[in-house]
Amino acid sequence: MSNALAVVKAARDKGALVFANIENLEAKVELYKTEVTSITFTEKDFHVINRKYMPNKAAVDRIGEACGVQFIQSACRVITETRDDPLCGKRAVYCAEAQGKVRMPDGSWRTSTVDEYEFDPALRAMLDKNVTELNEKTKPVVTRVIMEYTRIARQRAATGARSRVIRQLTGMPTAFEKAEIAKPFVFTRIVQNTDYILKTPEGRAMATAQALNMDVASLFGARKAELPPASDNPNVPDDFQEAEATELEPESQNDTANLAEQAAADEPDFPSDDSEAKAQQKETEFDRLTRTLEEYMTYKDALDVKTPSGTNPYKLAMEELDSKTATVESRQKMIGRVRTFLINKKVQGVA
């Protein structure tokens, strides 16, 4: 049994929460190795929403680092949208997007889909204060809270999107019970095997060059800048000029190949079949809606009840999640019904 696998199994036997694929844990190539990280949190590292504990920004950052998640900067952003409805009036809503990747045991990268998260300061404040309508009477109650939430809204939205990416890549649940957060959290990540790299001559040379701030490329025979033509160097002996010309001559033989490549580049490209891309986009939207519905399912205490019409919202939502014929439209419809039910029930933390 490998050292990393032994550490993970020992932690799990002691009751730790392990977020790792035991069957696919070890690095497959010697250039990489598996690192195991155990983190102990306190209640201060979580937001409490409906008696569930969700990691805050500091905890999310620590978890992301322990899992080896690298966020793709070009896909991470926060935009502000202006919305106006009778319930909350005109206000700003902060919408964040994030995408990340983790290294797999074979050295390749697994990239997440782009995850989204919205933070609505006004709606969140109304839910926290049990205000169902924003009017002249209720504004004094929530105005201060709205201001506080607006101050951190961009950060909360970004943290929410990044947290969803981490959950997507690690399989970590959305929220935890109070008893669970007292246990150690164990994560694994694939990193470069520095010990193996330094055993090779090339690895030692690159490490030395980096430590001495040298040009690494020059160590492996990178071509230097060309010298001026012989006519511009009258002090150079004729036999050296001739040798130099002989060395540079093969480059000119590539001109024909370069011209051919340029001609090929001028050809118009054949239109691609975008049906596969559209199918992938639809699948991505379905997965995003599934994760959204799963997050609402964390409010089980509020959903698992019998309504006056005799229905059980929690069971209906579970049937939607388990359905083999579910579609994007059915997911959207169920999310809307569950969200409306929670809001009408004045459940805190629902937005």
Would you say residue 277 lies in a domain?
no
Write down the pTM of the prediction. Answer: 0.57
Residues 105-117: pLDDT tens digits? 888 999 999 999 9
- Contact between 20 and 8 under an 8 Å Cβ cutoff? The reply is yes
Q: What pLDDT band is residue 222 in, cutting at 50, 70 and 90? A: low
Last residue of a domain, one of 175, 191, 207: 175
Residues 78-88: pLDDT tens digits? 999 999 988 88
The reported pLDDT for the residue numbered 294 is 80
Would you say residue 135 lies in a domain?
yes
Instruction: Count how many domains the chain has.
Output: 2
Would you say residue 83 lies in a domain?
yes
Task: Measure the N-to-C terminal CA separation of the chain; round to a whole number of Å.
Answer: 47
Residues 254-264: pLDDT tens digits? 454 454 455 44
125: tokens are: 């404040």
Give 33's strand partners: 191
Last residue of a domain, one of 127, 150, 175: 175
Residue 98: closest CA among 42, 163, 48, 174: 163
Q: Where in the sequence is the domain holding 316, given as residue range(s)? A: 289-344
Last residue of a domain, one of 158, 175, 192: 175
Would you say residue 8 lies in a domain?
no
Would you say residue 296 lies in a domain?
yes
> Tokens 């007292």 belong to which residue?
182
Would you say residue 125 lies in a domain?
yes
> Tokens 């035991």 belong to which residue?
22
Lowest mean pLDDT among 30-39, 137-146, 178-187, 249-258: 249-258
Would you say residue 63 lies in a domain?
no
Would you say residue 65 lies in a domain?
no
Q: What is the mean pLDDT of the chain?
A: 80
- Contact between 157 and 110 under an 8 Å Cβ cutoff? The reply is no
Backbone angles phi, psi at 258, to 5 degrees: -65, -40
Residue 14: partners with Cβ closer than 8 Å, 6 or more residues away:
184
Residues 168-217: pLDDT tens digits? 998 888 889 999 999 999 999 999 888 888 888 877 777 677 777 776 66
- Contact between 326 and 302 under an 8 Å Cβ cutoff? The reply is no
